[in-house]
Amino acid sequence: MNGVVVIDKPAGLTSHDVVRQVKRLLKASKAGHTGTLDPMATGVLPVCLNEATKIAQFLSSDAKTYRAVMLLGVRTDTQDTQGQVIGRSDPDVSETAIRQAMRRMVGAIQQVPPAYSALKHQGKPLYRYARRGEVPDIPPREVEIFNIDVLEVERPYVTFEVSCSKGTYIRTLCADLGDALGCGACLAGLRRLKSGMFDIQAAVPLQQDGAPFPPDSLRQAVIPMAQCLPAMAEVPVDEMMAGRLRNGFQPDAGSLAGHVPAFLVAGDMIKFTDSDGELAAVAEMIIDGRTVAGSRKDDRAARVLRVFRGRLASTRP
């Protein structure tokens, strides 16, 4: 079974805990998630199964959407309510000021990753340094806030939805908003609503009525690999070509002539699917699609980045 199952992660579990449970329930040989959620957070956590772990790299860079609750007037060492309080102040700020501060965050911004995070510095996660009282000099990183909508202001709490790029820390966003407002702030609640093409409507729980979610129902929720890469142009191939790709063949102009769309340009990603619609390979175009037909047949046309075993080859005994 190869594909992605979207879990509605419960609070209190790490992303690794969720992956371990899904792997056990579905008896998968391999499993991995596409983007960490903190233990306090809930919502969309895509879990890649077996061969689909190879497409995680193409999914982790997707944009995310969150619903967050910000607590005004409180600063903590972890930038959320799970940490130690390091400052309090009067959150007497107007709703207008809150909305203006959020609007100023839209666009490309600089964020310093939080000290208590899994981001690695010199091979070690930052939280290990923080637990020893060390503060490495981490440069700010550029992230992008696509949109922020304020849903409710009930001081000291502010509920908002935010769409952002990969690598954005919502607790750091709250802390930065608190600094901009002059009262400090931290994250009090977080729910991921969307990660790339995966949204909360497709998510399934780990438990139902206090018992583990039925494995059969979980299997039915698995999304085939080819469907998980909607932004890639699809190139259907016959079984002979699928086998060649899976065995290391690098596509030339002769094999792609008449199969790739003319609008593709060098650098675009494509996905090869076999006669069953199963993902056979992911590749990057080396030449433009419109020039394929006019190229020599043995000219390299695409570079295969990942190959995937077929359904029968990947079935566990």
Catalytic residue numbers, as ranges: 38
- Only one residue has tokens 């018992």, namely 211
- What span, in angstroms and rounded, lies between the C-alpha atoms of 285 and 271? 10
- A 10 A CB-CB count for 209 gives 6
CA-based nearest residue to 31, from 13, 18, 44, 40: 18
Task: Map the chain to HEC letters.
Answer: CCEEEEEEECCCCCHHHHHHHHHHHHCCCCEEECCCCCCCCEEEEEEEEHHHHHHHHHHCCCCEEEEEEEEECEEECCCECCCCEEEECCCCCCHHHHHHHHHHCCEEEEECCCCCCCCEECCEEHHHHHHCCCCCCCCCEEEEEEEEEEEEEECCEEEEEEEECCCCCHHHHHHHHHHHHCCCEEEEEEEEEEECCEEHHHCECCEECCEECCHHHHHHCCECHHHHCCCCEEEECCHHHHHHHHCCCCCEHHHHCCCCCCCCCCCCEEEEECCCCCEEEEEEECCCHHHCCCCCCCCECEEEEEECCCHHHHCCC
- What span, in angstroms and rounded, lies between the C-alpha atoms of 112 and 243? 46
CA-based nearest residue to 44, from 182, 188, 195: 195
Structure tokens of 46?
């895509």
